[in-house]
Amino acid sequence: MTPATLERSKRWLAQGDLRPTRQRLALAALLVGDGENRHVTAEGLHGAVLATGDRVSLATVYNTLKAFCDAGLMQEVTVDGSRSYFDTRMDDHPHFHFEDSGRLTDAPAGELEIVALPSIPEGYEIAKLDVVIRLRKKA
Amino acid sequence: MTPATLERSKRWLAQGDLRPTRQRLALAALLVGDGENRHVTAEGLHGAVLATGDRVSLATVYNTLKAFCDAGLMQEVTVDGSRSYFDTRMDDHPHFHFEDSGRLTDAPAGELEIVALPSIPEGYEIAKLDVVIRLRKKA
DNA sequence: CTATGTGCAAATCTTTTGCAGGCTA
DNA sequence: TAGCCTGCAAAAGATTTGCACATAG
């Protein structure tokens, strides 16, 4: 891990008032180490961290991802009933979900334009607007 | 079950080339018996069918809902990572998801207007466009 | 030093599957 | 009758939890 990556990871954890433990730094480095947004599953991230040589248990990956979400550093995205995806980008934005590979990416921002929303039931407000564009390989 | 409900349920199963067994009729009656669209979870539907006095195992509810989807009679809607919802309405349409109760409903049709979609990656086409408006109780 | 984190294994929850017997066409 | 269906229990997969030990501030 480069010093820049370490620095960025520490700052990121500090934003969420989370202590920079070895495991959290290892995960943070993979998530925000290069400043890019990431979309990961717990299992995928676990595999990635093991590949770097660090040892982190899968349960800790789950707990840590949840801690990152609670701290407002990431958000969970629901795209597939069987798996949870975690996104380092925090604003509401549309996603592409590739049915063949299961990969999740941001859809180019600003290109989705919603003009009118259905009127919200009395007493409620919008917590989140999820848009998932499911893609299948063209025949 | 009224004769009209029975008739409608039988026709519905016939549309999907599914045999009208006792269990399927019991579930179909709850799903389309009154001509309204329904949004159910497997567990919720199981509870409902038990309440009518019919006995259907939970595994059969799962298998039957999946059979209904495969037959093109319903679609599965992904709104919450932990549970699957099944919708008797077959076209793409936005949903309201009530965070307090977990209930899922259709958002008033036609009131959502999407003007521009992000451009789709080369070689792919849209399989499905999911829009879920998550609602929280107003403070 | 004290409160937070972590690891592991076991528990939980939802959904799927194998197989023997039942029922529709 | 033949093949599709069902029930049950057990399996499977993802995620959470309990508890003893480790560690950041």
Q: Does A43 touch chain B (CB under 8 A)?
A: no
In angstroms, the CA of B89 and the C1' of C23 are apart by 30
Do residues B54 and B26 make contact, with C-beta atoms less than 8 angstroms apart? yes
| Phi, psi angles (nearest 5°) of residue A24 | -65, -40
Tokens of A103: 């990969």
Q: Does A130 touch chain B (CB under 8 A)?
A: yes
Cβ–Cβ below 8 Å for B114 and A115: yes
pLDDT of residue A110: 67
Distance CA A125, CA B27 (A): 34
SS3 (DSSP) at A37:
coil
Interhelix angle for A58-70 vs A22-32, to 10°? 70
**Helix/strand/coil percentages in chain B, nearest 5:** 35, 30, 40
> A25 vs chain B: nearest CA distance in angstroms?
27
In 3D space, the residue among A50, A49, A58 whose CA is nearest the CA of residue A9 turns out to be A49
Nearest CA in chain B to A76: B81
> How do residues B69-98 score in pLDDT, each as one tens digit?
999 999 999 998 889 999 999 998 999 999
SS3 (DSSP) at A60:
helix
Give the closest of B79, B94, B117 to A111, CB-based.
B117
Tokens of A29: 């480095």
Domains of chain A, first to last: 3-135 (1.10.10.10)
pLDDT of residue B110: 67
Q: Is A59's CB less than 7 Å from nucleic acid strand D?
A: yes
In 3D space, the residue among A81, A104, A106 whose CA is nearest the CA of residue A92 turns out to be A106
> How do residues A83-129 score in pLDDT, each as one tens digit?
999 999 999 899 999 998 999 999 986 677 777 777 889 999 999 99
Amino acid code (one letter) for B51: A
User: Radius of gyration over alpha carbons of chain A, in Å?
Assistant: 17
Q: What is the dihedral of CA A22, A23, A29, A32, to 10 degrees?
A: -120
> How do residues A25-50 score in pLDDT, each as one tens digit?
999 999 999 989 999 999 999 999 99
Indicate whether B11 pLDDT > 80. yes
Q: What is chain B's mean pLDDT, rounded?
A: 91
pLDDT of residue A71: 95
**Helix/strand/coil percentages in chain A, nearest 5:** 35, 30, 40
Query: CA A43, B131, B70 angle in degrees (round to 5)?
Result: 75
How many Å from the N-terminal Cα to the C-terminal Cα in chain B?
42
